[in-house]
Amino acid sequence: MNLHLFGVEGIPEIRPGDDLGALVAGCAAPLCSGDIIVVAQKVVSKAEGRLRALSAVTVGRPARRLARRLHADPRMVQVILDESVRIVRDCHVLIVETRHGFVCANAGVDRSNVPGDDLVSLLPIDCDASADVLRSRIAQVSGMTVGVIVSDTWGRPWRLGITNFALGVSGMPALLDYRGRTDDFGMQLNASLLATADELAAAAELVMGKTGRVPAVVIRGFDIFGDQTGRGSDLIRPRELDLFR
C-alpha cells in the first residue's frame, strides 16, 4: 500500500455557520472516491459554533479552588469543568473525562487558533455526527464517496510529545482487528487491534503542522476494506480496561 497525503490549502478563517464541508470539497478538488479527509477539530468546532466567551463565564467555588492550586485562569477551569463528567487528575494540569468518554487534558478546551483573547473552543458535541455531516456534504459537492476523520492533537500518558488522534470517524474503519489471524510463522495473534483512524490522523498532522493554516488533509491510497465502517467512539477504551479509572 502506498499512501499519498495532500494538504488542503485556501480554506478561509472559519466562522460559526460556515459550510465547512463545501469549503473542504472545493479547496481539495479534485477528490477521488476512496479518499480519506482528515479535518482538524478546531475548524469543525468553529463552524458548529462551539465557542465560548470567557467574559461570560460564571465561576463557581470548585473552579476557583482548582484554579488557585493549578495557578490557572478560573474562568478557563470553569469551562473545563462544564465540559467534563469526572476529574481524573488535578496536579499541574486537569485531566478529565469528557461527556464523549474521552480522557484528556482540559476536556479539549483550547485558546489557540481562536481570534481574540476572550474566546475558547470546545470539542464538538458529537464528533462522529460531525464527521457524518462533513462526509455527506463533501460527497454531495464532489460526487465522490470518501471517509472522514475529525482529529485533534493530544498528549499521551506513557510517551513525551503530542500527536493527532481521531475523535470522529465516518465511512471507514476506526480499528483493524487482526486478532485470531496467524502471523508469518503460524502463531495466532491475540492482541493486534490496530488503531487505524488514529494512525491516519497522526500521519495527517505531519502535513497540517501547527502554524501552516492547513486544517484538512486528503489521504489517498488507503484501502478502506470494502463496506467496513467504524466510529470514533470505537477507539475509547472500555471502563474495565482503562488504566486511568
Segment 146-177, tens digit of pLDDT: 999 999 999 888 889 999 999 999 999 998 87
Domain limits of the chain?
Answer: 4-45+125-237, 52-120
Buried b (16+ CB within 10 A) or exposed e, 156-180: eeeeeeebbbbbbbbbbbbbeeeee
Instruction: Give pLDDT, residue 39.
Output: 98
State the pLDDT at residue 70.
93
Q: Which residues of the chain have pLDDT under 50?
A: none
CATH assignment, 4-45+125-237: 3.30.1330.100
Give the model's pLDDT for residue 197.
96
What pLDDT, on a 0 to 100 scale, did the predictor assign at position 115?
A: 86
CATH number at 52-120: 3.90.1660.10
The answer to whether the pTM exceeds 0.75 is yes
Measured distance CA(122)–CA(101) in Å, rounded: 15
Phi, psi of 152, deg, nearest 5 = -145, 160
